[in-house]
Amino acid sequence: MEKQTIEPRTYGDECDGCTGPERIEVMRFQRAIRAITGKWKIEIVCSLVAGPMRFGELRRALPGITQHMLTEQLRDLARNGIVIRTAYPEVPPRVEYALSQAGIDLMPTFGALHDWALRYQDRLAD
Amino acid sequence: MEKQTIEPRTYGDECDGCTGPERIEVMRFQRAIRAITGKWKIEIVCSLVAGPMRFGELRRALPGITQHMLTEQLRDLARNGIVIRTAYPEVPPRVEYALSQAGIDLMPTFGALHDWALRYQDRLAD
DNA sequence: CTCGATAGTCTGCTTTTCCATATTACCTCT
DNA sequence: AGAGGTAATATGGAAAAGCAGACTATCGAG
């Protein structure tokens, strides 16, 4: 039996030279995903939902994280405009991290993905 | 000026022994994220939205992917119940990949995240 | 009998991510 | 004077992810 080309493949066909609009959208999407992947990023964002927190406060809220990791992940989140870093030139130094509007607006999408995970958690490996 | 504990920290406070419900939810969430992270996973899922595809067909639709990567990513997606692999014991071998219901239901969450990425793309690094 | 197509697997390598352990600089408290 | 807290940086190593290229088995076409 022959397989008679189930459906026109608009996605693949338009991407011979990587110029189709779909590909560009996928790339943007990937960038968004990359902005929130990282072992602690989601936990950090979820912690900050309740309000701004200081560096050490976050560290205590995330048992197991190293200073290095926290610094790195926060820097990354700030670089992507998801959290806002505010350093107060006091001594001892005080640095506060808060969600930006982008960070706050991220939560509904988290909610959607969480609902999905809840529905299909039994088939999710690991 | 003193900082008077902006808000009760329900998340951090309950997680001293990693037993709070929020932590468990974050872990579930992380599992969902891990199921869709990987350099080609999203492109594969987006390709399959139009209908089932064969291995080689997918490979041609994703220029730049290696056989190894495609095999691996598909296996991973199948392991997480997002795609369904159907091998027909013919010769030459024919293997078809299709989105499962979980995979189809994933699309709206992709849409939400995509909208977010669209709105804030100018501050996304990289 | 060799060639090509299919859907892989196997091996070795590079890059990225993750993690632990120092070390810094400044100020306060004792 | 010395201990302690704060927010980092620096260094070095382990683990995971990604990549290229060679190899397999089967069958039909030429």
Strand C contact with A21 (CB < 7 A): no
Distance from CA of B31 to the nearest CA of A (A): 7
Q: What is the ipTM of this complex?
A: 0.81
Domain count, chain B: 1
- The reply to whether residue A11 touches residue B118, judged by beta carbons under 8 angstroms, is no
A3 found inside a domain: no
Report d(CA B101, CA B84) in Å as an integer: 10
Tens digits of residue pLDDT in B63-89: 999 999 999 999 999 999 999 999 998
B34 found inside a domain: no
Report d(CA A9, CA A20) in Å as an integer: 13
The residue that minimises its CA distance to C1' of D25 is B92
The first and second tokens of residue B99, run together, are 């989105």
- The reply to whether residue B57 touches residue A22, judged by beta carbons under 8 angstroms, is no
What secondary structure does DSSP assign to A63-88, as a single string? TT--HHHHHHHHHHHHHTTSEEEEEE
B59 found inside a domain: yes
B89 found inside a domain: yes
Alpha-carbon torsion angle B34, B39, B41, B43, nearest 10: 140
Among left, alpha and beta (phi > 0; psi -120 to 50; other), residue A21 is alpha
Residues 105-124 of B with CB under 7 A from strand D: none
**Type and span of the H or E element at B85:** strand B83-88
pLDDT in tens, chain A (126 residues): 333 333 333 333 333 344 456 667 888 888 899 999 999 999 999 999 999 999 999 999 999 999 999 999 999 999 999 999 999 988 788 999 999 999 999 999 999 999 999 999 998 887
The residue that minimises its CA distance to C1' of D17 is B38
The boundaries of the domain holding residue B90 are 39-116
Q: Is the dihedral of CA B98, B31, B126, B64 positive or negative?
A: negative
- The reply to whether residue B34 touches residue A113, judged by beta carbons under 8 angstroms, is no
B101 found inside a domain: yes
Give pLDDT, residue A26. 83
B126 found inside a domain: no
Residues 38-97 of B with CB under 7 A from strand D: 38-40, 64-69, 91-92
B104 found inside a domain: yes
Query: What CATH number is given to the structural domain containing B69?
Result: 1.10.10.10
- Residue A77 vs residues A82, A84, B124, B125: alpha-carbon distances, Å: 5, 8, 10, 10
